[in-house]
Chains A and B, each alone.
Chain A
């Protein structure tokens, strides 16, 4: 069975600093996708970034980048130049080709609080 682990329940980061959110995953499938979502206090899940298991380069989307270390089964999210609006819950998720098309397995999440 596949599993996503986020070991940091919460963290504080100062505005304009970078922050790294940890995510490790476990799957025996060779074909999978890794996703990061942001959930502000309003509750909506906002897609941030995607990394495919066969992608050779780390994904980047604006201030978000994904540090993908396949051998270590790690997919950490890096947020550069944090802003107050980045305060939210962040979830790592994975889908695999064999475990039902598009079915996402989520981690428990990391609460980020950005301070001035």
Chain B
């Protein structure tokens, strides 16, 4: 089945630790995206990548880093520099045009203890 997988579903982290969220897609999409969602709010774009080995900052990139070494994979690292990392993180992919639908993974809920 084609789709987007994210792991883990739930993640707990101690303050000061870096943590990496996984995102994999087998839809053969060029573009991939990371969003953050806080309770009762819409989604905000963290980073996006339109092609392998290239990515751009979104609206709230500070404290996050990404890599895009393979077309299928777009991992997100939440660093210790992110001041308020507890949130729901959603990964998406699309065929890389403003008219193309973004399809989302199931999300990872990160809690900092």
Contact = CB atoms under 8 A, between A and B. Distances in A.
Interface of A: 4, 31-33, 35, 37, 42-47, 50, 52, 91, 93, 95-97, 100-104, 106-109
Contacts of A45: 43, 90, 92, 104
22 contacts: A32-B98, A37-B104, A42-B106, A43-B90, A43-B106, A44-B104, A44-B105, A46-B104, A47-B101, A91-B43, A93-B43, A97-B98, A101-B31, A101-B96, A102-B48, A102-B100, A103-B45, A103-B48, A104-B43, A106-B44, A109-B41, A109-B42
Contact of A95 (B50, B88, B98): B98
Contacts of A100: 48, 56
Contacts of A93: 43
Contact of B42 (A42, A46, A103, A106): A106
Contacts of A107: 42
Enumerate the 5 nearest inter-chain pairs by beta-carbon distance, A residue then B residue, closest first: A106-B42, A45-B104, A95-B98, A106-B43, A43-B107
A96 B88 CA distance: 25
Contacts of A101: 31, 50, 96-98
